[in-house]
Amino acid sequence: MTLLFTCLLLAVVAWIVFDRRRHARLKTACVAAFEHAYSLVSPRPGFEMGYSYGEPVFQLQFASRADMQAAADANAAFLAAIDALCRDRGRKRQFKAQRAVFFQHPGEDEPVAAHCCDAMRAQIGKAVAYETARRAYGLRTSIIGTPVLPISHCPWCGSSLPPA
Q: Site residues (CB under 5 A) for Zn ion?
A: 116-117, 120, 154, 156-157, 159
Whether the bond between 45 and the residue before it is cis, its omega within 30 degrees of 0, is no
Rounded least distance, CB 130 to Zn ion, Å: 12
Rounded least distance, CB 162 to Zn ion, Å: 13
Residue number, 141 or 159, with CB nearest to Zn ion: 159
Residue number, 117 or 144, with CB nearest to Zn ion: 117
Residue number, 81 or 154, with CB nearest to Zn ion: 154
Residue number, 28 or 159, with CB nearest to Zn ion: 159
Rounded least distance, CB 142 to Zn ion, Å: 21
Other Cβ atoms within 10 Å of 77 Cβ, number? 15
Residue number, 21 or 135, with CB nearest to Zn ion: 135
Rounded least distance, CB 93 to Zn ion, Å: 42
* 3-state helix/strand/coil string of the chain: CHHHHHHHHHHHHHHHHHHHHHHHHHHHHHHHHHHHHCCCCCCCCEEEEEEECCEEEEEEECCCHHHHHHCHHHHHHHHHHHHHHCHHHCCCCCCCHHHHEEEECCCCCCCHHHCCCHHHHHHECCCEEEECCCCEEEECCCCCCCCCEECCECCCCCCECCCC
Question: What is the C-alpha to C-alpha distance for residues 43 and 95, in angstroms, rounded to an integer?
Answer: 29
Rounded least distance, CB 45 to Zn ion, Å: 21
Residue of this chain nearest to Zn ion (CB atom): 154
